[in-house]
Amino acid sequence: MNIIESVKKSRLYLLVACTLLMSGCGMVITCMETPKTIRKAAELTQYTPLTVDKLSSLLREDTTHFKFVIFFSACCGPCASHMAYTYPEMMKRHADDSVKWYYIAANTAQLESAEQMMRSNGISEPLYYLLDTTADFNDRNSQKWNNIANRIFTNGEKVTGNLGIPVNFIVSKDCKVLKLLVTDSYNESRICTTDLYLLEGMPSEEDFDRTDSISVDFPLFR
């Protein structure tokens, strides 16, 4: 065994030892859904579990509001940025009875921390969380967020650009999602749901019947 291989092996042993030590002390933060987080979520009755089909029903049954649907996690850095700089401002702009907000934790992990993230940014909306064992909507499926978007929203072109959180949907009163063909600073184009900080004002119902093409630089992801 050469010196480089020896050093690599020593580092691996050290990492494993540290992980086991922190785990025994309760210091490891679980951000992935596990049987333990699912059991814990069932005890936290102040939060509401949703399957994808249940969320779809909620959005379709509500024909009197524009709906802002936000999937996020307490373990997600970009989610924290949006929670601090985007959502509170958007809620101030649209603080009237025509808009309803759905804050949905991406899975059962760290629900209390997710609520704390909301409250620390002045957001008092109820917290939902996604709990769906369907293979298409499982954390292990790399197309999870695209599958969720296309299961709920059937109008227009398919969503293909949402491969991670945060995921935001702006939904019309008749459950259409506003979409944009986005070209980013790397000249990569994709169909995605509208990021909230791109929206200057509340769209009209007609805006949900068309797909716009724009170029955008994402300031929160630089």
Residue 214 has pLDDT above 90, yes or no: no
User: Binning pLDDT at 50, 70 and 90, where does residue 29 land?
Assistant: low
pLDDT (tens digit per residue) in 60-113 = 999 999 999 999 999 999 999 999 988 998 898 888 888 999 999 999 999 999
Residue 164 has pLDDT above 60, yes or no: yes
Higher per-residue confidence, 26 vs 58: 58
Q: What is residue 104's predicted lDDT score, i.e. its pLDDT?
A: 98
Pair of tokens at residue 194: 């509208």
Q: Kindly report the pTM of this predicted structure.
A: 0.80
Smallest Cα–Cα separation from 203: which of 98, 81, 50? 98
Tokens of residue 40, six digits: 């814990």
> Which of these, 151, 211, 181, lies nearest to 203 by C-alpha position?
211
Percent of the chain with pLDDT over 70: 79
Domains of the chain by range and CATH? 52-221 (3.40.30.10)
pLDDT at residue 24 is higher than 70: no
Hey, what are 80's tokens?
A: 């924290």
Give one DSSP letter per residue of 75-124, joined into a string: T-HHHHHHHHHTHHHHHHHT-STTEEEEEEESSSTTHHHHHHHHHHTT--
Of 123, 159, 130, the residue nearest 53 (C-alpha): 130
Residue 6 pLDDT = 47
> Model confidence over 191-200: pLDDT tens digits?
888 777 777 7
